Amino acid sequence: MDKDGRFLVEATLRAKLAEAGMKRGEPAITHCQGGGRASVDAFVFERLGVPTRNYYLGSSDWGNSDDTSVESGGEAVKKP
């Protein structure tokens, strides 16, 4: 987004993705806490022709699953 809250032009977006190490044609997965903010990223990727999936509900879904392990003191442990 630019300083006025508008999407950047395509050339600028592509340059930023390349600078971040994303290769052209590489698929993307977007995620956030609830899926809303990540949907904006997914929209931009799709606009640029990048195959994209949005992990809707993101970390709130993944982190609340009973079979998701968590890190504690450097070791992965099962949630009680």
Q: Judge whether residue 77 has pLDDT over 60.
A: no
What pLDDT, on a 0 to 100 scale, did the predictor assign at position 11?
95
Which is more confident, 7 or 65? 7
Q: Is residue 27, in this structure, part of any structural domain at all?
A: yes
What pLDDT, on a 0 to 100 scale, did the predictor assign at position 80?
55
Cα separation, 77 vs 80, in Å, equals: 9
What pLDDT, on a 0 to 100 scale, did the predictor assign at position 32?
81
Q: Is residue 19, in this structure, part of any structural domain at all?
A: yes
Across 13-39, average pLDDT? 86
State which residues form the domain around 39.
10-63
pTM as predicted = 0.65
Q: Is residue 69, in this structure, part of any structural domain at all?
A: no
Q: Is residue 78, in this structure, part of any structural domain at all?
A: no
H or E stretch covering 46? helix 36-47
Domain count of the fold of the chain: 1
Q: Is 62 exposed, middle or buried (0-12, 13-18, 19+ CB in 10 A)?
A: exposed
Q: Is residue 1, in this structure, part of any structural domain at all?
A: no
Q: Is residue 74, in this structure, part of any structural domain at all?
A: no
Q: Judge whether residue 47 has pLDDT over 60.
A: yes
